[in-house]
Amino acid sequence: MVTRLQLELAFAALVFATGATGLAGALELDWGWASDGPQAGFFPFRVSLILMGAALLVALQAWRGRAALRRVVVVEGEGGGRVLRFGLPILGLVAVAQWLGLYVAMALYLLGSIRLGGRRSWGVALGVALGVPLATFVVFERWFQVPLLKGPLEILLGLG
């Protein structure tokens, strides 16, 4: 059983951690104002502070209303299982992408989700699992010229 208070505090902690990570990155750059305008870390520094402040406000508000929020059950039993069946594969995609690259991780995620989760045929699952990463590659890498995370397979194929 997950209560609304637990979700509010967990979300606040996640947003605060995101802000703290951004702040740490911004501090590695010059984050002030120079004669020619804002330096590289200027906006990330301020956005990170805003995120951290907002997270503290959310946590404070949740803590003040904790008596009522503890009574509101958000997820229990089978609903929690459905959330995990949806969320854990996405976390797996993020983890696998770090080693195998985004395109391979995306293909594996789609193949597993469509074949196992959606109970579709191998033809449909393979078609989508190969087609979507290919379309994503063309759109981002070729058209927009925005490189995405690549792994050993893409480098071996000369795409990295």
For the stretch 111-120, pLDDT in tens is 999 999 899 9
pTM beyond 0.85: the answer is no
Beta strands in the chain (DSSP E): 2-3, 33-34, 37-38, 73-75
With beta carbons less than 8 A apart as the criterion, state whether 131 and 158 touch: no
The string of pLDDT tens digits covering residues 3-56 is 999 999 999 999 999 999 999 999 999 989 999 999 999 999 999 999 999 999
The answer for residues whose C-beta is within 8 angstroms of residue 85's C-beta and 6 or more apart is 117
DSSP class of residue 41? T
**Rounded average pLDDT over 80-105:** 92
Q: What is d(CA 105, CA 96) in angstroms, rounded to the nearest whole number?
A: 6
Q: Is the dihedral of CA 45, 51, 56, 60 positive or negative?
A: positive
**Rounded average pLDDT over 144-149:** 93
**Rounded average pLDDT over 114-134:** 95
pLDDT of residue 160: 75
Q: What is d(CA 94, CA 90) in angstroms, rounded to the nearest whole number?
A: 6
Q: What is d(CA 97, CA 62) in angstroms, rounded to the nearest whole number?
A: 34
Taking residue 119's Cβ as centre, other Cβ atoms within 10 Å add up to 8
